[in-house]
Amino acid sequence: MLYFVVFVAVIFTVVFLISKRQTKKLPKIRAKRIQKEPHQHQDEDYFQFDFNAGHATLSETRPSALSSPDVKQKYMQGLDDIPALPTVWPDLMRAIEHGDAAKKVASLIMNEPTLAVEVLRYANMVSPKDMSDLGQAIVLLGYNSVRGIVTRHCFSKMESKGKSAYKSADLWRHAIATSALASITARYILGCDAGIAGTLGLFHDLGRIAINVSFTNQIVTKPHVSTGYLQVERESFGINHLESGVLLAKHWHLPTAIQQGILYHHHPAFAPPDKIPEDIRKEVLAVYLADLLAIHFELAGGHHLVSLPQPAYASLMSASLEDIASDSQVSKELWRVRAINF
């Protein structure tokens, strides 16, 4: 009798273990089925965003032809009149890009007393109490805003004195916002360098600043939603802001990454990922998404047209554009930008 009871117990245990093992396999089977679902629609969903809730308008962006030799030569001659950047500028950009301590950044800024005064002036716009410590001012403003303030100060000598195609204050506010947002969007792009993305975001519209200086008292025609603004700039000035920005960046001997970032920063709208150099592809996408969000949040640099990236870029991302826009850091950085009065 005892043997019979033991035999039944063993049979029951074996049956129980087999059934339990089979139930564990079920989730794996379902997971494989989900992976087999087509992902093209999911790629498109990555960029679904209610831009109409803001002041942005969806449009197409089409590339434009390069400038004619005559226009390019005339533009290049005008670059000789643009002052060189201060010697402290590259060291400052490098320190901020690498996330060095605020004290080190402050020590570099102190080499340019007028620049130190400028940073403190902007910090006191944001601070509820008087701010006189440069290190604390840098922490309060955040590296992205400091990077923009430093660069704008260095560029101040090339501000157009006549009527400009683009409002200078809007351009700089947009540049700083895009830089700050690019540092955030970079975190949602696998393998993207947030420091480089932030720097590229600051310079992506450098060509529009150059257009303001080179084509004073000229007005840019309002772009059409079916073509975008690159072709309109080509028609208005004979050159678009991609080409003018790259030429100015080369004139100043800025790093190759910045030159390429300027040249390709609209490519996600009309070209597949493999048309962008691999070493800056992810950073360019970070800047492009940041540009879209800046325009959506009413920090445009001269237009309110946005074009969604091609679906293929979704493969580089770990979250949708809507998820990125909901990041709490976005509202924090935009508050800093809006608090600064250019």
CA distances (Å), 285 to each of 142, 161, 291, 322, in order?
23, 34, 10, 15
When mean pLDDT is compared across 63-67, 153-157, 255-259, 307-311, the lowest value belongs to 153-157
The stretch 254-269 carries a mean pLDDT of: 95
Highest mean pLDDT: which range of 60-74, 78-92, 187-201 = 187-201
Q: What's the pLDDT tens digit per position in 115-128?
A: 899 999 999 998 88
Give the architecture-level CATH label for domain 43-84+161-337.
Orthogonal Bundle (1.10)
Q: Which residues of 308-318 are buried (b: 16+ CB within 10 A; e: fewer)?
A: bbbbebbebbe
Q: How far apart are CA 327 and CA 103, in angstroms?
A: 28
Please provide the DSSP assignment of 95-132 as one string.
HHHTT--HHHHHHHHTTSHHHHHHHHHHHHHH-SS---
Strand partners, 57: 305
340's CB contacts (< 8 A; 6+ apart) are: 122, 125, 126, 141, 145, 149, 173, 176
Q: What's the pLDDT tens digit per position in 133-163?
A: 999 999 999 988 898 888 888 777 666 666 7
Q: How far apart are CA 340 and CA 342, in angstroms?
A: 6
Amino acid at 83: P
Q: What's the pLDDT tens digit per position in 167-225?
A: 888 898 999 999 999 999 999 999 999 999 999 999 999 999 888 888 877 777 777 77
Q: How far apart are CA 131 and CA 121, in angstroms?
A: 9
**Helices first, then strands: H and E counts in the chain:** 18, 2
Is-contact 120 108, C-beta < 8 A?
A: no
pLDDT at 266 over 80: yes
The stretch 34-38 carries a mean pLDDT of: 32
Question: Model pTM greater than 0.75?
Answer: yes
Please tell me the predicted confidence (pLDDT) of residue 217.
77
The stretch 33-52 carries a mean pLDDT of: 54
